Amino acid sequence: MSVPVRRGEVLAIVGANGSGKSTLAKLLAGLYTPTHGVVTWDEVDLTTADPEQVWSRLAMLPQDIARWQVTARENITLGQGHGDDQAAVLAAAKASGADGVIARLPDGLDTNLAPSQWGGRDLSGGQWQRLAGARALYRDHAPLLICDEPTSALDPRTEEAVYDRIRALSAGRTVVLITHRLGSTRAADRIIVLDGGHLLEEGTHESILENEEGEYAAMWRAQARTYSDQPQV
């Protein structure tokens, strides 16, 4: 398939499990090298680019988050200096819903996050995801933001706040959003639907829904049924 990602657009990628969404995200980020074809940034083949230069230009919130056994502050600012800008660190934490997590830690941002038997404080899966979200949002200078199921372990209120922050950050940057939650795709400039590594459908939310027999419309109806008291036909 050939998928251009345009500068400044919000591109949503949807599809069933195993359709290739996360693989495509990692290809775009230069974390995977394609066995066939090529991935380019501004006509530069990523396999010929300096990886450090590529990674400095993107912020990524992956589906499988890293749980770094360092302080909460270092978890947010990892790879971006010492985190001396307290206001920026706290703003990123608030945007991802991690501010409440930090407020309950004994030493706040300077709490060591590690299993309790090692003298640290461990977090739940949802709390770790909020910290990972803060890490991605803290890198607000990166022109590309890739979010792979960024709210899978979050409660509805925090999920809404994270998507609000992603929409705010989309001004002047490119956002690639991978999600199963189709309500978040409505604000995307373009949606692509993958199936088995192939491009199945492409367009805006409204234009793809016009194909009532399509995969996107079927997924949309299936999710709508979970929020409706009336059966859908």
pLDDT computed for residue 82 by the predictor: 66
What average pLDDT score do residues 158-165 get? 75
Q: What proportion of the chain, given as a percentage, has pLDDT over 90?
A: 39
Is the separation of the CB atoms in 228 and 49 below 8 Å? no
Whether pTM exceeds 0.75? yes
| pLDDT, tens digit, 9 for 90 and up, residues 114-142 | 877 677 888 988 899 889 889 988 887 78
The segment(s) of the chain belonging to CATH 3.40.50.300 are 1-57+143-233, 66-141
- Helices H, strands E: what count in the chain? 9, 8
Query: Does position 197 have pLDDT exceeding 80, yes or no?
Result: yes
Q: 1-57+143-233 has which CATH code?
A: 3.40.50.300
DSSP per-residue letters across 77-137: HTTS-----HHHHHHHHHHHT-HHHHHTSTTGGG-B-S-GGGTS----HHHHHHHHHHHHH
**pLDDT-based confidence at residue 231 (cuts at 50, 70, 90):** low
**pLDDT-based confidence at residue 172 (cuts at 50, 70, 90):** confident
**Cβ-Cβ contacts under 8 Å for 177 (sequence gap 6 or more):** 10, 11, 12, 13, 147, 150, 166, 184, 185, 188
**pLDDT-based confidence at residue 12 (cuts at 50, 70, 90):** very high
Please give the residue that has the higher pLDDT: either 159 or 61: 61
CATH tag for 66-141 (out of 3.40.50.300, 3.30.70.120, 3.30.1490.100, 3.30.420.10) = 3.40.50.300
CA distance 58 to 136: 9
pLDDT computed for residue 230 by the predictor: 55
Query: Does position 151 have pLDDT exceeding 80, yes or no?
Result: no
